[in-house]
Amino acid sequence: GIIRVGAFSSVMRSVIMPSLVPLINSPHQLKVEFFSRELRELPQLLLSGEVDFIVVDSEVSDTRIQSQLLGVETLVHVRNRQLSHHSEPPIFLDHDVHDMTTYNFFDAQGMADFEFDRNFYDDVYGLIDGVRLGFGEAIVSQHMIKPDDEFEIVEYPKSVTSPVQLCYVKNRYLSVLQQQVIEHLQANVP
């Protein structure tokens, strides 16, 4: 069988793909297609039938979509620890103009009026590389930052988390294989 999964970049390669390894490497001869897309694009991919599952960072409000909480990501503010100077206002790296992660992070800290500039790097790995190279700072998932990296995590009083939701079309027949995907994600997502 073929399973098609769409997810946002900070969980696709680091969480979803590794969580499905036991199923993919089983004798079922499973074929998997992974699609890393922007959050706003994922519900339409699911509803159009282009993917069987999507993984998003909030419950989808469409009544045709069933959501299950897989876990939560903790968001952190990172910058290059080697840089002795930081720009004023600071430059934050986001996916694109629609990405509200940085705004939401500072709003959750009670800093909605915090001023910063933004540059865009398309996916989370671009953001991390940009921070590593000193192009700016970013709000990213803590699990993406390795202890041996050149990053400084800026401390804040409040922890900011983001849900990781598995979604599929409600009231659609789920094959045994699709049910196994759900079970593997529920059991293996860290």
Q: Which parts of the chain are beta strand (E)?
A: 2-7, 31-36, 53-56, 65-80, 91-94, 117-120, 138-141, 151-154, 160-169
Measured over all CA atoms, what is the biggest interatomic distance in the chain, rounded to whole angstroms?
A: 57
Q: What is the model's pLDDT at position 154?
A: 93
Output the average pLDDT for the chain. 91
pLDDT average, residue stretch 90-97: 94
Q: What is the model's pLDDT at position 171?
A: 79
Q: How many other β-carbons are positioned within 10 Å of the β-carbon of residue 12?
A: 19
Q: What is the model's pLDDT at position 146?
A: 83
pLDDT average, residue stretch 43-48: 96
pLDDT at 83 over 70: yes
pLDDT at 28 over 80: no
- Between 32 and 84, the more confident residue is 32
Residue-by-residue DSSP string for 78-105:
EEETT-S---SSPEEEESSTT--HHHHH
36: Cβ contacts below 8 Å, ≥ 6 apart: 6, 7, 8, 9, 12, 13, 123
Q: What is the 3-state secondary structure (H, E, C) of 59-71?
A: CCCCCCEEEEEEE
pLDDT at 86 over 80: no
Question: Distance between CA 9 and CA 6 in Å, rounded?
Answer: 9
∠ CA 160-164-141, nearest 5°, is: 45
The confidence band for 84, taking pLDDT boundaries of 50, 70 and 90, is low
Q: What is the model's pLDDT at position 59?
A: 86
Whole-structure pTM value? 0.86
Residues belonging to the chain: 190
Span 99-114, pLDDT tens digits: 999 999 999 999 999 9
pLDDT at 115 over 90: yes
pLDDT at 141 over 70: yes
Asked whether the beta carbons of 116 and 141 are under 8 A apart, the reply is no
The confidence band for 88, taking pLDDT boundaries of 50, 70 and 90, is confident
